A and B are shown apart, each in its own frame.
Chain A
């Protein structure tokens, strides 16, 4: 072979890089800091609410409000992960809820304040006096996308499938159900073994999605191949890893208020590329927007931004007694951080949550100290309480425990870039108080498996959050619960949590959860760190979109406006 060059010419390479640098620097934004707690206020139109957005105010709706709309059109929504099977009974992913929003309505839905409202049901659930029987009245005279009739029998068939199929991932969240029957055309009666409070909230999620009995009959467990529900749109095509295409459903009961012809959900995993696609106009909505890109979206006059405080949380978890995996009895692990709650408290005090959120997420996320989001009806003073950041006191507390300082702690994390960045910041912070935190990034499935099997010392993980606190609190902290990866067990906490789950009254439940969380703040099996905000960017010519605390962008009634500002 031969020489490459006769003479050198590196200038070409260098100048290309330099020009890219200049080009990019030109669109640099000034740095912005500041964090705040979302307080449940509803925002105004996107774009105008720039300061509100920065201050953490929710912007949950961009209404059409009499603007001139152009009928029809194809809306492209960029989402971050593949939804998985489109069958609500068998799907364990979060993304499926997003994709299902236009094609599969639920018995209940959320409203802009985090409350639950009827959707395919006509009223809130009616509890019998002993709390064991619940009646849900449902719509009649409407049709599934295949034209078949919707009635209480169809609802009962779907609910039974969610509950009884051996592979169903819905069954465990549906509570201690004994039977599900349609008592007449418009009433479904559910009986429980024990009183179970979160009925409406559960049916505002995937367990409340109702499938066409005809389609179920035909496709059986392959319902996900061609799902048929009640919805403004119906599924045309699903290409795994790529997206889902939907078209307007003429059989929909509220078809008059549906304007788009088609919706495409496009999977774009990388955050900055999602943003780039939004800016280039290749997609109309991007959800979620990475916190680091939010300033740029807010500053772009062709784009609007929306945000809501989320229900989930990112947490630091200590393996206290999970030696043999979930489903086995807790056995105390004999390391200082597992045995001594004071060490865990010192860890919590060593964390400046506000500074972390400001530097890693440019202030777009909120600090979290408990599994109950402050903007929900279940928040109390006790649940909002937090260990004060005090690195010196944390160090002193640690010294009092008679352990070698620095104390070595191994933290397993999901290897997503955002998590890795946060973990490094956390590592630097707790180092000040005598914690030598080493980071072990593993890929997502490995982390979940390690948590389940108890093969970890501590972990940094997140929970996407549910409407009802039962899923957010009981499931993680009650002895033997499915997600109690810490192997934490405290009889008093168990009693409080069980009482809370069985109490229908919201205020009473909130009070009980508050008491439980005060005890958690003593034991600290889980140290809560921050709460993502649901961040969304959309083109300014889109209206009729809502975005609530479950982080789903509701696009069923979206439209292109003629004169986008």
Chain B
């Protein structure tokens, strides 16, 4: 959502970036949250006390701190903690894969649009079209054609982010193209594609990374929204969004079942937002001293 305007070459001052990142308390808090979430996601099969889809009819709606079920159980007696661990896994998966789509499609198109004027017209029309097209309709359409699944959710969410990534990269490219080193490379008759690859792309990297940290929370929330509308991940796979929309149905029976997955979503987004802010400052020294 936020569009980042400027950035610097990553390679040249890696040490400085690290230093700046480390000195940001909030950035470190964000990084800490993210590492915790990543650990939860990766280690889910090892640390989850129960299989996430194991149904136990006799044990539904157990409150938190029930023996053996630290966060309680849901309507079908499934362990909420275990489901959350796996749910975080799905959410991060959705986040990373969607960003991958946005990057793989958005970055090259952005470079082309920014570098070659004649392509800009066509690509900008397509971007306009995509931005104007409500992404929910795309998501519902995909779900209707192929059935709801993780892949479809990822595609719908990723595609919706393409134009934003594209615009960021296009803006960067326009800026970098005007710089001296590109002009001199052009004077030396380097081909357009080569200039893009050697000079423009590396200089866009920081903007792309920062934009990615902005996209992920948006996408994680997007997954929850799709699940709420019944077009997200396929059950019985636990996703935070499914847990949330399930829990909302029996909120009068067991309100805590809705609090935990909600908190997990907030934490993931918080982690990315905090870390993304710190990263942006670190990558953009002109603002770092504020």
Contact = CB atoms under 8 A, between A and B. Distances in A.
A424 B253 contact: no
Given A417-B246, A441-B234, A445-B144, A29 B252 contact: yes
Interface stretch (B88-96, B193-201, B215-223, B256-264): B256-264
B118 interface: no
Given A362-B253, A421-B75, A427-B236, A272 B248 contact: yes
Contacts of A1: 2, 4-5, 280-281, 284, 287
Interface in B6-63: 24-26, 29, 53-55, 57, 60-61
Contacts of B254: 28
A21 interface: yes
A105 to B, nearest CB: 36
Contacts of A359: 57, 60, 75-77
Given A17-B262, A445-B144, A439 B278 contact: no
B278 A3 contact: yes
A358 B57 contact: yes
Interface string A258-271: 00000000000011
Interface in A429-445: 429, 439-443, 445
A290 B230 contact: no
Contact of B251 (A24, A415, A425, A439): A24
B255 interface: yes
Given A21-B259, A359-B57, A446 B287 contact: no
B122 interface: no
Nearest to A279: B252
A441 B249 CA distance: 18
A355 B147 CA distance: 29
A4 B249 contact: no
A7 B258 CA distance: 30
B250 interface: yes
A17 B55 contact: no
Contacts of A275: 252
A552 B135 CA distance: 37
A359 B57 CA distance: 6
Contacts of A425: 55, 57, 76
Interface string B94-121: 0000000000000000000000000000
B26 A4 contact: yes
A20 interface: yes
B173 interface: no
A439 B270 contact: no
Interface stretch (A40-48, A291-299, A307-315): A291-299
B191 interface: no
Contact of A28 (B5, B57, B255): B255
A24 B253 CA distance: 10
Interface in B237-280: 242, 245-246, 248-256, 258-259, 262-263, 266, 270, 273-274, 277-278, 280
A442 B4 CA distance: 38
Contacts of B263: 17
B169 interface: no
A428 B266 contact: no
Contact of B249 (A3, A418, A429): A418
Nearest to A359: B57
A20 B76 CA distance: 24
A271 B249 contact: yes
B204 interface: no
Contacts of B4: 1
Interface string B57-76: 10011000000000000011
A432 B249 CA distance: 27
Contacts of B287: 1-3
B255 A25 contact: yes
Contacts of A442: 143-144, 147-148
Contacts of B280: 1
A13 interface: yes
B252 A13 contact: no
A280 interface: no
Contact of B252 (A17, A292, A424): A292
Given A292-B253, A415-B231, A3 B55 contact: no
Contact of B75 (A5, A271, A360, A441): A360
Nearest to B140: A443
Contacts of A362: 253
B253 A295 contact: yes
B235 interface: yes
A443 B230 contact: yes
B290 interface: yes
Contacts of A25: 255-256
B234 A417 contact: no
Which one of A1, A25, A290, A442 has the greatest number of beta carbons of chain B within 10 Å? A1
Nearest to A25: B255
A423 B235 contact: yes
B235 A424 contact: yes
A31 B76 contact: no
Contacts of A421: 75-76, 246, 249
A27 interface: yes
10 contacts: A3-B281, A7-B26, A24-B256, A28-B253, A296-B252, A359-B57, A359-B76, A415-B148, A416-B230, A417-B249
Interface of B: 2, 4-5, 24-26, 29, 53-55, 57, 60-61, 75-77, 140, 143-144, 147-148, 230-231, 234-236, 242, 245-246, 248-256, 258-259, 262-263, 266, 270, 273-274, 277-278, 280-281, 284, 287-288, 290
Given A292-B75, A440-B147, A443-B148, 12 more contacts: A1-B2, A1-B287, A3-B277, A3-B290, A4-B274, A5-B26, A17-B266, A28-B254, A270-B248, A295-B252, A417-B246, A428-B76
7 closest Cβ pairs, A-B complex: A428-B55, A24-B255, A415-B230, A4-B277, A296-B252, A292-B250, A2-B287
